Amino acid sequence: MRQHTVQTPYMVGEVHFYSTELNGDLVLFDSGPPTPEGEACLKDQIDFSRLKYLFITHCHVDHYGLANYIIRHSNAEVFIPRRDAIKLQRHSERMARMGELLTAYGFGSDFTSLLQESFERNKIFPATPERFRIVEESEDLAALGISYLPCPGHSQSDLAYLVGNFAVTGDVLLRNIFQAPLLDIDMDSFTGRFRNYDAYCSSLHNLAQLRGLQIMPGHRTYVDGIDEAVIYYVTTLLERARQVRPLRKRVLYEIIEQLFKRRITEPFLIYLKVSEVVFMLDFLENPALLKASLVQIGLFDQIRKQFDDVAPGETP
């Protein structure tokens, strides 16, 4: 498995994508960002004449942004997660529902308009791939010796690809990064928000299955280990939940105002903080869900004290 690295114009900094040979075919996992630097990296390091498959971990701009560039320069088959296909195909409806969701949280129509402008200005949503197939509906992966585990939480479509002793995990496991659990509409129902917290607690069972594999992350070059990455994430969650706890009865807009006191003005950054606070509020509403998952994968004792500080009464 070969790691390719390119700088991005986003706050995440550099991003990694990966290539390998399977049954004589050149296979790519993720594409990098839709920038001149990203295109140059692909052109320099990937033989498009031999590229057979592109598998996307999740459709965020730094991971799938060059899918169309690859399509136009190769005959590669492009595979994206099912919920990302829905998200891309129903983009306008999704944005309208997001506006309704933010309005219910106390944000005015002026903010949702500014957020939409921020998405467009920062090119958060590259064009939908001109042709693609759905990962969960394909038999090609098994024929190549690839399997996958759904690990939603950061987004609702996160997939980890397993290839031999490697796991290509996108943003699912990162070293010393609390990857924002992004607020979004539930792509299955379009009737409410996707519950990232519930999904993350469920995903912990799949993440534990990656123990012993070499993790190929989307950022920060390497991961110390599954347990270390999970403990960092959960510890950060608990630290931030402690800040939110005294404010949890307030309207979300007021919580953001109280926590950040207008120090953050860029709409996209406010959206990221809203996403995190919703995640913390869901935890504070049902901390037992996270505890049960951590107990099952054998990590609860390592964060027992911090957990009890934030959610007293949940530990014996």
Q: Can you give the residue range of the structural domain that contains 44?
A: 2-310
76: in domain: yes
316: in domain: no
315: in domain: no
What residue type is assigned to position 204 of the chain? L
100: in domain: yes
To which residue do tokens 């980890």 refer?
Answer: 160
Between 176 and 316, residue with greater pLDDT: 176
- Predicted TM-score (pTM) of this structure: 0.95
9: in domain: yes
Residues in the chain: 316
Task: Give the C-alpha separation, 260 to 106, whole Å.
Answer: 16
Q: How many domains does one find in the chain? A: 1
Provide the CATH number for the domain around residue 216: 3.60.15.10
Residue in 175, 174, 176, 168 with CA at minimum distance from that of residue 214: 168
217: in domain: yes
269: in domain: yes
Task: Give the C-alpha separation, 284 to 55, whole Å.
Answer: 36
Q: Could you report the per-residue pLDDT of 72-102, keeping only the tens digit for each? A: 999 999 999 999 999 999 999 999 999 999 9
Task: Give the C-alpha separation, 293 to 79, whole Å.
Answer: 30
Task: Give the C-alpha separation, 187 to 15, whole Å.
Answer: 26
295: in domain: yes
Q: Could you report the per-residue pLDDT of 217-270, keeping only the tens digit for each? A: 999 999 999 999 999 999 999 999 999 999 999 999 999 999 998 888 899 999
Residue in 84, 58, 85, 90 with CA at minimum distance from that of residue 190: 90
Q: Could you report the per-residue pLDDT of 146-186, keeping only the tens digit for each? A: 999 999 999 999 999 999 999 999 999 999 999 989 999 99
Three-state secondary-structure class, residue 4: strand
